[in-house]
């Protein structure tokens, strides 16, 4: 089955700095890569996603890049703010079958004011 590795497990930055979280996946059949943000005690919520036919996608301060050949994708957050502090999960989902998203172990992002 799919295996998703996510790094780093913890990321501490100063407000205004950029943050980058990296993930790798193993199943070449995966074609959908969502990123979820989970604030303390709350449910994971989608913040951005990318499909395998696209190399990069941007939404305001958040961008995601995908390298299908190397099987890795990354989340970039620019001009970080304290409210960006949360746990971020990457996931990979195959193109058929049960479409089950496999999640990475999460990155705890701490943005210091």
Partner 1 sequence: DSGVTQTPKHLITATGQRVTLRCSPRSGDLSVYWYQQSLDQGLQFLIQYYNGEERAKGNILERFSAQQFPDLHSELNLSSLELGDSALYFCASSPQGQTRVNTEAFFGQGTRLTVV
Using DSSP, state whether 74 is helix, strand or coil: strand
Nearest approach in angstroms of CB 59 to partner 1 is 14
Report the interface residues with partner 1, using CB under 8 A.
6, 31-32, 34, 36, 42-46, 49, 51, 89, 93, 95, 97-106
Nearest approach in angstroms of CB 42 to partner 1 is 7
Nearest approach in angstroms of CB 97 to partner 1 is 8
Nearest approach in angstroms of CB 14 to partner 1 is 24
Q: Residue 81 or residue 95: which is nearer to partner 1 going by CB?
A: 95
Q: Residue 17 or residue 38: which is nearer to partner 1 going by CB?
A: 38
86/97 Cα distance (integer angstroms): 31
60 conformational bin, left if phi > 0, alpha if psi -120 to 50, beta if neither: left
Q: Residue 24 or residue 106: which is nearer to partner 1 going by CB?
A: 106
Write the DSSP assignment of 61-110 as a string of letters: TEEEEEETTTTEEEEEE-S--GGG-EEEEEEEEESSTT-PPEE---EEEE
Q: Residue 46 or residue 81: which is nearer to partner 1 going by CB?
A: 46
| Residue 56 C-beta-side C-alpha neighbours within 13 Å | 4
């Amino acid at each position: 089955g799919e295996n998703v590795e996510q790094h780093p497990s913890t990321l501490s930055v100063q407000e205004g700095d950029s943050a980058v979280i990296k993930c790798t996946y193993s199943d070449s059949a995966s074609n959908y890569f969502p990123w979820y943000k989970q604030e303390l005690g709350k449910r994971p919520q989608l913040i951005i996603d990318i499909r395998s036919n696209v190399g990069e996608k941007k939404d305001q301060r958040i961008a995601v890049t995908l390298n299908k050949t190397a099987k890795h994708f990354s989340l970039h957050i620019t001009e970080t703010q304290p409210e960006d502090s949360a746990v971020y999960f990457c996931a990979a989902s195959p193109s058929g079958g049960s479409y089950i998203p496999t999640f990475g172990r999460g990155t705890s992002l701490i943005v210091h004011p």
